[in-house]
Amino acid sequence: MDYDFKTKLAAERERVEDLFEYEGCKVGRGTYGHVYKAKRKDGKDEKEYALKQIEGTGISMSACREIALLRELKHPNVIALQKVFLSHSDRKVWLLFDYAEHDLWHIIKFHRASKANKKPMQLPRGMVKSLLYQILDGIHYLHANWVLHRDLKPANILVMGEGPERGRVKIADMGFARLFNSPLKPLADLDPVVVTFWYRAPELLLGARHYTKAIDKDWEDIRKMPEYPTLQKDFRRTTYANSSLIKYMEKHKVKPDSKVFLLLQKLLTMDPTKRITSEQALQDPYFLEDPLPTTDVFAGCQIPYPKREFLNEDEPEEKTEKHENHFVNWPLHHVISLLHYNSFQNIDTHCIYICLCKK
Ligand code: AMP
């Protein structure tokens, strides 16, 4: 490259450390990097930003994927990428996002702790419904644009704090996301990385390699799943004899004919060809019933959740999810359900948490 041009370029290049104050403000550690809360040094705006430093150096496959997708995506429920910084001195890649003060993981953790301390916190009426609606809206947008997130989990469902977008859900962390097209490559060949498998759809747990149109019955094609023999070997029918969604809900006083229960059932359908899509779910009668979903999931109420804490640079973040407890510890008899949510082309691994409020 021409020397003068190179020098000019280097002089003009904006450097993240010149523009933003973020030292000591680490708020998250994801699969693909470190996230800092940041503010502009020049005071051009008082906004809070999230700066994500991508793990490793140079533009890796996942960084490239995340940047390429985020540049194209624009939806109120998908986190907006503001800028990309390439730090030439250490070959680090930085992504600048709007800052979201909360996420579903911390919200759930807060409620579990408040229940454990015998001070259960009431959720604003309709908050669960609004969360679900906005998650579905964001997923539908992604799927309609042929993007599969593939790592949806509570920590990646961000919620905006005080400000113009108060209480707005933002789906984040596109590191695993991929564009999908037809015909699909075998799913198992795409990414050998083990993603958080608690949120995987049952057909993916059973090793589905690609989307097949199953012949109806209960779930006829389960027998064709690569891991079906393993399931047969390890599965003790007696362990699950008394487990059913209806029984579980009865215990928590959710009526089996309520709209919320019916929607849950549709989302939890084992057979991926019968499970409803995000688009269908958005049209569900549950969302037309009072209380209606609101753009501010907190519905104007005071936000009781603490702000993000700064993490010690070397300290690993406590993000090990104690799934076994989600079902037993949820306050106010809410049920947080792991929804193996699959939509559009029926190949996604999306699973969403739904909290069903006790009436
Ligand atoms: P990620 O690498 O995107 O999974 O981010 C890791 C963690 O950083 C997340 O689980 C959040 O707790 C936090 N985080 C990510 N993006 C943001 C954001 N835009 N605003 C605030 N916190 C974030």
The answer on pLDDT for 9 being more than 70 is: yes
* Most confident region among 197-201, 209-213, 217-221, 323-327 by mean pLDDT: 217-221
Distance CA 319, CA 340 (A): 21
Q: Distance from the CA of 95 to the center of ligand 1, in angstroms?
A: 11
Q: Which pLDDT value is given to residue 199?
A: 60
pTM of the model: 0.83
Question: ∠ CA 143-148-151 to the nearest 5 degrees?
Answer: 130
Q: How confident is the model at residue 293 (pLDDT cuts 50, 70, 90)?
A: very high
Backbone phi, then psi, for 258, in 5-degree steps?
-75, 155
Mean pLDDT of 273-290: 92
Q: Distance from the CA of 30 to the center of ligand 1, in angstroms?
A: 7
Pair of tokens at residue 4 = 């003068």
Residues assigned a catalytic role? 151
Residues in the chain: 359
Q: What is the pLDDT of residues 59-74, one digit of tens each?
A: 887 788 788 889 999 9
Q: Specify the higher pLDDT residue, 112 or 26.
A: 26
The answer on pLDDT for 317 being more than 60 is: no
Does ligand 1 lie within 6 Å of residue 174's CB atom? no
Ligand 1 atom at shortest distance from the alpha carbon of 32: 2
Does ligand 1 lie within 6 Å of residue 33's CB atom? yes
Does ligand 1 lie within 6 Å of residue 66's CB atom? no
Distance CA 205, CA 276 (A): 19
**Annotated binding-site members for ATP:** 52
Of all residues in the chain, the percent with pLDDT exceeding 70 is: 73
The answer on pLDDT for 357 being more than 70 is: no
Query: Whose alpha carbon is nearest atom 22 of ligand 1?
Result: 100
Q: What is the pLDDT of residues 124-142, one digit of tens each?
A: 889 989 999 999 999 999 9
Q: Which pLDDT value is given to residue 51?
A: 97
User: In the CATH scheme, what is the code of domain 14-98?
Assistant: 3.30.200.20
Ligand 1 atom at shortest distance from the alpha carbon of 173: 3
Q: Which of 173, 195, 307 to mutate to test the pocket of ligand 1 (most atoms within 8 A of CB)?
A: 173
Distance CA 348, CA 279 (A): 14
Ranges of each domain in the chain:
14-98, 102-356
**Is the alpha carbon torsion for 311, 315, 316, 318 positive or negative?**
negative
Q: Classify residue 304 by burial, with Cβ atoms within 10 Å: 0-12, 13-18, 19+.
A: middle
Q: Distance from the CA of 35 to the center of ligand 1, in angstroms?
A: 6
Mean pLDDT of 287-311: 96
The answer on pLDDT for 336 being more than 60 is: no
Domain 102-356 has CATH 1.10.10.10: no
Q: Distance from the CA of 216 to the center of ligand 1, in angstroms?
A: 41
Distance CA 156, CA 170 (A): 8
Q: How confident is the model at residue 240 (pLDDT cuts 50, 70, 90)?
A: low
